[in-house]
């Protein structure tokens, strides 16, 4: 059997699609359609036969690009396309390629699907995606913890991490705590990572803090570094914009714990099974995107009736108070990070 998986959504969605890919790979080749930003995260993955890059915003925009990518999908000789991303565009891509498709009954492109699968809002998204390959009457479904995603950093990714840490004076056995203060969505960014870092260096003076994220997160890393310097702590390692996605995953595998917003690093940590302290504000884990590392803690203001306020978060709190993030106390987060760090030592 030859399968195709179409996933052209956010990075976290792609990472959470890997359990589905691994399941399908047990029965034959799996070809994945991915955006340029997400294609690299599947490098070295043993369950992926090939990645078809679909640059839907630029190089492959419009009908001409759609037909070009459809031709590449047709060449795989896939017999079923699993619609992990449900837009009309990906549905049209499978239809143009002549590949029967399976997707969720709530998707925008559902009118073009050959078979529909119920979208369960009460399931983790890894479970929802796994269910795309389930028989219609299949009764059993793995628990979320059994569907931890997988990534495979390569030798070059490991080498870049080793060079970064060596330049910072980190020894092979030195413990690391990772902080991921960024997010594409402004209201998901907890504003107190600098206070968290300050608390951590006073309680764990031998631990080094490393900040991960995109290049645009460098100002957040600078604020964290400044807070640590004021407390006389060991220099913060700024990895923002310095590593590939798989490089960040390799770095997380070296860390005792990650403290993160509801953003891509959370899913990278799940794939590397790095203990995770996840901070949820405008979104909630019940929406299906919580951490899947064996050891994880979720912190948030559960009593707020305005949560969740949207599927992704936004640029500003709709009510103007942003209590869902502002009221998460740094001391509470520090206590959980310290506990996970000591458990890892």
State pLDDT tens for residues 92-119.
999 999 999 999 999 999 999 999 999 9
300 shares a domain with 166: yes
Residue 11 has pLDDT above 70, yes or no: yes
- The last residue of one of the domains, among 101, 136, 171, is 136
The 10s digit of each residue's pLDDT in 202-244 is 999 999 999 999 999 999 999 999 999 998 889 999 999 999 9
Query: Strands (DSSP E) along the chain, which ranges?
Result: 2-7, 29-34, 50-53, 80-83, 101-104, 115-117, 176-180, 208-211, 237-238, 257-261, 276-279, 296-299
Domain of residue 202, CATH code = 3.40.50.2000
Range of the domain at 331: 156-344
Phi/psi for 258 (5° steps) reads: -120, 130
Q: Would 145 be classed as within a structural domain?
A: no
pLDDT recorded at residue 210: 98
Residue 139 has pLDDT above 60, yes or no: no
pLDDT recorded at residue 145: 85
Contact between 21 and 45 under an 8 Å Cβ cutoff? The reply is yes
Q: Would 143 be classed as within a structural domain?
A: no
Q: Would 148 be classed as within a structural domain?
A: no
pTM of the model: 0.95
93 shares a domain with 65: yes
Q: Would 149 be classed as within a structural domain?
A: no
């Amino acid at each position: 059997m030859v399968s195709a998986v179409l996933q052209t959504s956010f990075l976290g969605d792609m990472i959470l699609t890997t359990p589905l890919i691994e399941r399908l790979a047990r029965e034959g080749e799996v070809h994945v359609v991915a955006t340029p930003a997400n294609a690299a995260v599947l490098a070295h993955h043993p369950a992926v036969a090939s990645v078809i890059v679909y640059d839907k915003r630029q190089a492959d925009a419009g009908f001409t690009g759609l037909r070009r990518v459809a031709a590449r999908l047709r060449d795989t000789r896939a017999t079923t396309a699993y619609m992990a991303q449900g837009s009309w565009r990906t549905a049209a891509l499978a239809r143009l390629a002549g590949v029967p498709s399976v997707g969720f009954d709530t998707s925008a492109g559902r009118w073009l699907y050959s078979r529909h699968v119920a979208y369960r809002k009460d399931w983790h998204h890894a479970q929802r995606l796994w269910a795309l390959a389930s028989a219609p009457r299949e009764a059993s479904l793995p628990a979320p913890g059994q569907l931890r995603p997988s990534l495979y950093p390569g030798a070059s990714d490991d080498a870049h991490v080793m060079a970064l840490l060596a330049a910072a004076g980190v020894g092979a056995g030195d413990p690391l705590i990772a902080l991921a203060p960024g997010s594409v969505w402004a209201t998901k960014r907890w504003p107190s990572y600098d206070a968290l870092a300050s608390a951590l260096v006073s309680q764990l003076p031998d631990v080094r803090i490393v900040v991960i994220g995109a290049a645009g997160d460098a100002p957040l890393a600078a604020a964290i570094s400044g807070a640590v310097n004021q407390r006389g702590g060991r220099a913060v390692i700024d990895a923002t914009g310095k590593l590939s996605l798989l490089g960040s995953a390799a770095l997380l595998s070296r860390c005792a714990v990650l403290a993160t917003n509801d953003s891509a690093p959370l899913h990278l940590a799940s794939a590397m099974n790095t203990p995770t302290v996840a901070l949820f504000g405008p979104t909630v884990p019940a929406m299906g995107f919580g951490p899947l590392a064996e050891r994880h803690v979720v912190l948030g203001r559960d009593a707020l009736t305005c949560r969740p306020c949207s599927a992704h978060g936004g640029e500003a709190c709709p009510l103007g108070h942003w209590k869902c993030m502002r009221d998460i106390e740094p001391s509470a987060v520090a206590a959980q990070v310290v506990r996970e760090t000591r458990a890892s030592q």
